[in-house]
Homo-oligomer: A and B are copies of this chain.
């Protein structure tokens, strides 16, 4: 769940100088000194992520140059985070979901705090409470939708909860309306513009953080593999791009992040594709990773054992024609692999081509508001949001990928919906289906 970026040897130490240098570039092509002054003035109040390093580490590394020191600190905390991630996986889906929730709240806090600082809201009435209220409301809505989707049968048994399920959307909407009215009533003449800007800021933060963490939870329910593989691909891409950039980086990639290089981008991408194949092969073997998480009525809790779907069963492939001579030489005319490995290829290509743009977006955002990092929680890495910027885009991709290419309406899911109907409606459906099956000669084929 942890992740490494600031890759391609982007030394943190130089960042500040670079940002400061930026304001020298104010050429005279347009009429906005006032606005420039406003932005600079504003930046003074912003929380600047500091490079706080544990003291012990600091003294142990005092002999190294700043470039290598940063490399070591970053490396240590990367391994710590990867370790923590493995522990969480061992902890099971519930532990992972709770972590997603915590990360979401922390990311929201970091984004919102920048908003506070940008619009200097010290005197603004109610604003902190309002943003957190909106976070609560949207979480109530989205997590509720997930719970209903996956635990509908169980929840419907309790009368009290049944009410919450049936009117879930209505309740959520009412909660939102309360926030909306509250916002309108809290408007104060002098602050209009800032209040509206913060309102928009809050909503964009919700859009980025809450909706995407909702998608992540959905991915976890499809099977841990759909969560772990993409997350570790992004981690791998970040780490390897940093490593390749550190040792071979020469050609600058994009103006937005001057320390990122084509060498890091290409090397990281290549490493990610190879890594993706291996991790997909490894994980496809274990039901723990492969099985969707479903509430089992017989056991009375979430179950993760199943007959693995076709995706996760070894199949024989013949290499494409153009590669066959080559394969003949190494004596592999046919080979076995899991179909999931093909999907992992799409995922790794996305995570190494489009994924980095999530990072560019975040660094552009940081530059726009002249902050160095979103926070200073992880030494050498910055805030939580700095590590998760690419994860959000990736989660949406995985979710869309699953709905488009993997998930098909299963008889099991539909049957559950049928059982939610009134008995006479169930009968009605039964007879209609029977007639249709008979008409199409499907039912008669079987004894």
Contacts and interface: CB of A to CB of B under 8 A. Distances in A.
B184 A357 contact: yes
Contacts of A426: 411, 433, 437, 442
A170 B400 contact: yes
A167 interface: yes
A418 to B, nearest CB: 6
Interface stretch (A35-43, A228-236, A374-382): A35-43
Interface string A178-214: 0011011101011011011000110110010000000
Contact of A38 (B35, B120, B200, B357): B35
A144 to B, nearest CB: 13
B123 A184 contact: no
A254 B183 CA distance: 13
A430 B440 CA distance: 14
Contact residues on A (Cβ < 8 Å of other chain), bracket = 35 or more
Contacts of A420: 409
A349 to B, nearest CB: 13
B364 A192 contact: yes
A108 to B, nearest CB: 15
Interface string A406-447: 000111001101111101011111101110110010110010
Nearest to A446: B427
Contacts of A193: 39, 368-369
A181 B423 contact: no
A48 interface: no
A160 interface: no
Interface stretch (A22-30, A65-73, A307-315): A22-30
Given A30-B122, A204-B200, A433-B430, A22 B189 contact: yes
A169 B354 contact: no
Contacts of A177: 354, 397
Given A166-B404, A190-B25, A427-B446, A181 B354 contact: yes
A401 interface: yes
Contact of A433 (B30, B201, B400, B415): B415
A419 B170 CA distance: 31
Contacts of A180: 357, 361, 393
A430 B421 contact: no
A22 B32 CA distance: 24
A256 interface: yes
Contacts of A434: 430
A50 interface: no
Contacts of A169: 400, 403-404
Contact of A443 (B201, B409, B430): B430
A166 B405 CA distance: 8
Contacts of A430: 430, 433-434, 437, 443
A209 to B, nearest CB: 14
Nearest to A367: B192
20 contacts: A34-B37, A35-B38, A166-B404, A169-B404, A170-B403, A170-B404, A170-B405, A173-B396, A173-B400, A177-B354, A181-B357, A184-B357, A193-B369, A195-B364, A411-B428, A414-B417, A426-B442, A427-B446, A430-B437, A433-B433
